[in-house]
């Protein structure tokens, strides 16, 4: 585990046990992690509308002697990140062509996502998927489409997966029929759906593992998740871009197939056979 992740996890892991006023401080630290080394305790106090004493108590509750030690630990952890580079370069930005501009932003989203996702977290997520009896994906709005896509991709590689339907039953009611050996994968992007976040919390209370796919470390659902996968979804429109999310979905399904080759091949072969028998595909001459 990198120092960067270790310090972040320390703060994140204490969140649910903190008083409400200190939860606000924790959220500020997580959202502004890279800026903390350049701020004084008084600047953090002003930004969070909290007293200096509350900032110090927050640092102590998260395992540090005080604000200075917490800030120094964050500064040291950031050194691990300084050498990271973009996986591939952005296109030229001097064009006014809208197609190029949109592509540039999505390329940046993918680059940032590749740097954001801890590989240990990614591998842990795949391990949870493969060991679960059943996988349920969840989300509302555009997140529902993403949840449906992930469920489809997983079924193609021999994982028993389905999406929570938002029709006759709330997510909570569908979780009632789940067991502790099942898994919930929830998509949560701005504006965050209250029902999705509360479903993750309810699943966690029932000892059901939760993987969240979201846009930042301090988004509401992360505090009820066993594993969080961060994805950049910035867009020129008011909606979220799903280019980087699609890359992550494809990577998850591909890794599941690689680690479960024989079963994935068997399911694919049987699926093709069924479609051919039912005359559902057009074969090339």
Q: Residue 161 — φ and ψ, nearest 5°?
A: -135, 145
Is the pLDDT higher at 104 or at 160? 160
Question: Do 252 and 125 reside in the same domain of the chain?
Answer: yes
Two tokens at 223? 């505090």
pLDDT for residue 92 is more than 70:
no
pLDDT for residue 96 is more than 60:
no
- 182-216 tens-digit pLDDT: 999 999 998 888 999 999 999 999 999 999 999 98
Residue 261, in any domain of the structure: yes
Q: From CA 120, how far away is CA 9, in angstroms rounded?
A: 13
Residue 282, in any domain of the structure: no
What pLDDT band is residue 104 in, cutting at 50, 70 and 90?
Answer: confident
What average pLDDT does the chain have? Answer: 85
Two tokens at 54? 């509350």
Q: Round to the nearest angstrom and report the end-to-end CA distance of the chain.
A: 53
Q: Which CATH number characterizes residue 40's domain?
A: 1.10.10.10
Two tokens at 189? 């992007």
**Predicted pLDDT of residue 91:** 47
**Predicted pLDDT of residue 136:** 97
Residue 232, in any domain of the structure: yes
Torsion from C-alpha of 128, 129, 131, 135, nearest 10 degrees: 120
Torsion from C-alpha of 272, 277, 280, 285, nearest 10 degrees: 80
Predicted TM-score (pTM) of the model is 0.72
Question: Do 258 and 118 reside in the same domain of the chain?
Answer: yes
**Predicted pLDDT of residue 94:** 52
**Predicted pLDDT of residue 273:** 66
- 219-228 tens-digit pLDDT: 899 999 999 9
- Integer-rounded Cα radius of gyration of the chain: 21
The H or E element that residue 161 is part of is strand 161-163
- 142-169 tens-digit pLDDT: 899 999 999 999 998 889 999 998 776 7
Domain carrying residue 64: 3-78
Q: From CA 167, how far away is CA 170, in angstroms rounded?
A: 7
Question: Do 112 and 63 reside in the same domain of the chain?
Answer: no
């Amino acid at each position: 585990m990198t120092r960067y992740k270790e310090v972040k996890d320390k703060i994140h892991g204490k969140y649910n046990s903190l008083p409400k006023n200190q939860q606000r401080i924790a959220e500020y630290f997580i959202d502004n992690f890279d800026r903390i080394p350049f701020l004084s305790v008084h600047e953090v106090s002003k930004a969070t509308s909290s007293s200096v004493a509350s900032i110090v108590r927050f640092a102590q509750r998260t395992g540090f002697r005080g604000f200075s030690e917490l800030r120094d630990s964050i500064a040291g952890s950031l050194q691990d990140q300084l050498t990271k580079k973009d996986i591939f370069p952005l296109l030229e930005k001097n064009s006014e062509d809208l197609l190029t501009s949109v592509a540039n932003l999505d390329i940046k989203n993918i680059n940032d996502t590749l740097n954001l996702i801890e590989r240990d977290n990614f591998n842990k997520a795949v391990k949870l998927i493969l060991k679960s009896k059943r996988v349920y994906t969840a989300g509302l709005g555009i997140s529902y489409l993403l949840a449906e896509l992930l469920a489809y991709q997983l079924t193609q590689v021999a994982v028993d997966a389905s999406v929570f339907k938002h029709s006759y039953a709330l997510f909570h009611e569908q979780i009632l029929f789940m067991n502790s050996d099942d898994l919930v994968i929830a998509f949560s992007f701005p504006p965050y759906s209250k029902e999705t976040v509360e479903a993750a919390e309810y699943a966690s209370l029932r000892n059901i593992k939760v993987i969240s796919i979201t846009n930042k470390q301090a988004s509401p659902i992360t505090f009820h998740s066993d594993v969080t996968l961060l994805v950049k979804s910035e867009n020129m429109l008011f909606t979220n871009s799903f280019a980087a999310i699609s890359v992550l979905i494809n990577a998850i399904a591909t890794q599941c197939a690689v680690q479960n080759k024989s079963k994935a091949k068997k399911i694919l072969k049987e699926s093709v056979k069924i479609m051919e028998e039912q005359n559902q595909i057009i074969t090339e001459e």
